[in-house]
Amino acid sequence: MMHQEKYDKYAIFAHGGKQYQAIEGKTLALEKIDGNDGDKVEFDSVLFRKLGENSFEVGQPTLEGTISATIVKQTKDPKVIVFKFKRRTKGRVKNSHRQQKTIVRIDTI
């Protein structure tokens, strides 16, 4: 069974068709964001925010305010090999792909 940490203050936001949990001081690997190391970015599609023990904000569909973060580095995922094969016809195609990622550190929620 996996141990899950509890946080009193966090937010859920959407970026690139996915949802992420933002905790102040933590780092996240997101889909590629244009920018250099040290640049500030803001995410405005905040879906949920927990500010205390019994303090919640739920967006319908989004909340006011933004989540600010700093770009730590630009990187790539490990290489994925795509191999297609058609039997009896010598049909073989080998491709590969490396998805670009951006590592960000959450500053404020």
Considering only 18-27, 44-53, 80-89, 100-109, which range has the smallest mean pLDDT? 44-53
d(Cα 107, Cα 41) in Å, to the nearest integer?
Answer: 10
The reply to whether 84 falls in a domain is no
Amino acid 98: pLDDT: 95
Q: Cβ distance 67 to 42 under 8 Å?
A: yes
The reply to whether 55 falls in a domain is yes
Sequence-separated (6 or more) residues with CB below 8 Å from residue 18: 31
Name the token pair of 68: 């600010």
Q: How confident is the model over 61-81, as a mean pLDDT?
A: 92
Amino acid 9: pLDDT: 87
Number of domains, the chain: 1
Q: Global pTM?
A: 0.78
Amino acid 14: pLDDT: 92
Domain that holds residue 33: 10-73+101-108
Considering only 13-22, 36-45, 51-60, which range has the smallest mean pLDDT? 51-60
